[in-house]
Structure 1
Amino acid sequence: MTSLKERLTTWFVLLTQVDVAQEPVHLFRERYANGDYPGALTAAQRFDIVEPADQERRRHALAEVRDLTAYSAAVAELRAADPQRSRASDFAPAVTVSSSTPSGSTTVGGLLLDSDRVVTSREWLPTGGPVTVSVAGSLTVTGQASPDPSSDQLLVVRVSTPLPVPAPRLGYSALVRVGDSVEVPVTAAGRYIWTRALVEQFTSMNGERPATIQASLDGIDGSFTGRPVRNDLDEIVGIIVATRRFPGQATIITADTLRLVRDER
């Protein structure tokens, strides 16, 4: 009769053989889906990642384990393979959302999620409704803004005509830290200039990552509402959703939330 130790050893060997025999790509996806990001990255070393979705899974896993060096290299490879995408931030600050009512008109910033949706803040457009979306002041389309059901701070605008500009890349909140520098577009001489702001604090989601960020910026006012915020890798890490709560500070909804909004079609 075999001992318990012998039986456990046999089971361990069998499980190890199954794990090794499993297709590396399937093992990678399984571990990633289960939130085992270190395990997923180990599996990723055993095959050439060619599917774009798998490449993004690897980038996400690198962000989650906070390997900034490898993540930066992976983003650089992506931009080299898609030069148009590397210029997406050129258009990001130039998106505006305007609403007209009998009491007056309001214009705020917005972020292109994809060709037919723009996300903005509810700070100055609390109820949504018909709006006009403009890109760089030259391309203008109409749209309908609706409160996002998953956030009391965001509006999602569906435009009537697809916008022929690339949506900027969204970064990952796991790489954001207090003390980091981020950039916010500021209007100067009729054009936008990316200006440094300092991440001072954030509220945590599940005690691990920022759900909203507080960043300090001189001269901030209501016109900054809805504008995108980017990191040193030229990725969007959030949009400004509130400017009136704390003097000289902006409240920023993170890219993780924006990604959920983008993916919930």
Structure 2
Amino acid sequence: MKLMRTVLMFILAFLVVSTGTHAEKSPAPRKDADSGKVTIPNSVLDIAKENTYPNSTQDQPYLQPSEFTQELLDTANVKIENPNLIRILNESSINKAPTIGLRATIYLGEWPLNYASTETSPNWEYQKINTNYYDNRGGKGNYQIHYVQEAQKVVKGGLTAKVPHADDVEKMMMIKAMDNSQLPLAFQTIVGAGTKKNQVYNISPKRLGYLYAYAPAINEKGKVTYGEVYLQMKGTKRSVIVKNVTSQGVGAWIPIQDHVHFGFMASEVPR
């Protein structure tokens, strides 16, 4: 795919007048806060301030099309939302000076064009990352424990099956999942060793207490549409044509960044 993009840019260099990069990030339109937003249960706490590993903020990888790019996208027979394809179109502008008899069709390659979400659902116990334990069977009163991360934990997500151009598909799924859930998402998040939370849990006498910590994640499901993209030029007219359109189902796990779900259990016997 990288080779195809390099060749593509080389071809366009002979047919375009460079206008610089217009790939500034712009937030995608967001839904109403009460529409589709995932409700966080009380057992899930934000650890962004306490996390000893500073995760970088993940912005939605949405690119604002330039004026020229938007004109091209409006001519396409299939919706195009792929940020990487938009970036390539943003980087150049075709000269519209009249060219008598100009007729050209340039093959830009096969691309994942858009992603349609059908389900955005949370799994608050996606991956267990820590267990705090205390034996109070010999105690005479309640013993209080709180969360302390014993070892650094890397939590990774990803697509649930192999699909062509996986990186592009992941970016489009991330955009929709963040918009649907209104949560901070990343395909990789890290909880640093020594991260603490002050909320306490009481262990009664004659019991053992277990405080489990889980990294939550969003399960994103939907359909990705692929197609062969062509840039067509006829005189001063420029347009995008998509051929051989196909669709397939796709799913992904995307961890919720800097959030932890806690589960507490007290037992008379070891678990």
TM-score, normalisation: structure 2: 0.22
Higher relative contact order structure (alpha carbons within 8 Å, sequence separation ≥ 6): 2
Larger helix percent: 1
Larger strand percent: 2
Q: Work out which of the two has the higher radius of gyration on C-alpha atoms and give 1 or 2.
A: 2
